Amino acid sequence: MDKATLLDWYRQMVLIRRFEEKSDELYQLEGKIKGFLHLYIGQEAIAVGTIAARQDQDHLVTAYRDHGHALAVGLPTKNVMAELRGKATGVAGGRGGS
């Protein structure tokens, strides 16, 4: 592994962790995320490693607690957060939730 790749993976893991912390804040303190919020804290390396190992022909199927995967494939944080908040600008039009 080269240093640039390792740093990129680390940055992705930090991004996922910060995203989850902000999501929890919006859910717990501000009530801006309705329904359930399944956090990915502590599992950041799983999403980053899964996406790094994925081949072009591979499909990715997730259930709940998939914010990390969404961010690791490069979806914009703004759109992933909009999805959690039920907004039309979310990656699934605000219908997918957590």
Per-residue pLDDT, 95: 87
How far is residue 57's CA from residue 68's CA, in Å, rounded to a whole number?
A: 21
End-to-end CA distance of the chain: 33
Task: List, for residues 28-84, the tens digit of each pLDDT value.
Answer: 988 889 888 999 999 999 999 999 999 999 998 888 888 999 999 999 999 999 999
> Amino acid identity, residue 77?
T
DSSP letter, residue 90 = S
> Amino acid identity, residue 34?
K
Q: What angle in degrees, to the nearest 10, is found between the helix axes of 44-53 and 3-28?
A: 130
How far is residue 29's CA from residue 15's CA, in Å, rounded to a whole number?
A: 21
Q: What is the pTM of this model?
A: 0.92
